[in-house]
Amino acid sequence: MTLQGWIDDQFSPRIKIKAAVGTELEPVVDTGFNGHLVLPKRHLKKLGFAYRGWRLIELADGSKIPSAFYEGTIYWFGRKRKVWVHPTKSEDALLGTQMLVGYVFDLDVESNYVTITKKSTRGPSR
């Protein structure tokens, strides 16, 4: 199974995912973010995501700040998956590299080609 996405006007790779409540999200695939998801704060309540506490997170400049985090459920490759979500004041949602463990992320900006493919669970062929 493969998720296909696109390159937006800002040259950011995007894919579509669904929250368990059916709302579609279009996060930027952000390989600089090592968590699950970052979502606009205004969406969290609507999506039914539950507040779970605070954590220190490290920003790109190396500084550390406290950030709330939430637990929610999305559909990922046709199955429900629990995710940890950090809120943002930005309008952009981000999908981090922790979501890509066990998957291959392929990107070709010039061809407007973005895919995430589940790795085969079979061993190498002989």
Instruction: Tell me, yes or no, whether 82 lies in a domain.
Output: yes
Q: Residue 33 belongs to a domain with what CATH number?
A: 2.40.70.10
Rg (CA), the chain: 15
Cβ count near 93 (within 10 Å): 19
**58/41 Cα distance (integer angstroms):** 19
What confidence score (pLDDT) does residue 77 get?
Answer: 94
**What value does the mean pLDDT take over residues 14-29?**
93
Output phi, psi for 84, to 5 deg: -100, 135
Q: Please determine, for residue 126, whether its predicted confidence score (pLDDT) is greater than 50.
A: no
Q: Please determine, for residue 121, whether its predicted confidence score (pLDDT) is greater than 90.
A: no
**What value does the mean pLDDT take over residues 42-64?**
90
Residue numbers of the domain that contains 69: 18-104
Cβ neighbors of 69 (< 8 A, separation 6 or more) are 52, 53, 54, 55, 84, 85, 86
**26/13 Cα distance (integer angstroms):** 10
What confidence score (pLDDT) does residue 107 get?
Answer: 95
- The closest of 77, 121, 120, 119 to 95, measured between CA atoms, is 77
Instruction: Tell me, yes or no, whether 117 lies in a domain.
Output: no
Instruction: Tell me, yes or no, whether 88 lies in a domain.
Output: yes
Question: pTM of the predicted model, to two decimals?
Answer: 0.88
Q: What is the pLDDT of residues 62-110, one digit of tens each?
A: 899 999 999 999 999 999 999 999 999 999 999 999 999 999 999 999 9
What confidence score (pLDDT) does residue 120 get?
Answer: 80
Number of domains into which the chain is organized: 1
Q: Side chain identity at 19, as an amino acid letter?
A: A
Instruction: Tell me, yes or no, whether 116 lies in a domain.
Output: no
Instruction: Tell me, yes or no, whether 40 lies in a domain.
Output: yes
Assign residue 61 a region: left if phi > 0, alpha if psi is -120 to 50, beta otherwise? Answer: alpha
Instruction: Tell me, yes or no, whether 114 lies in a domain.
Output: no
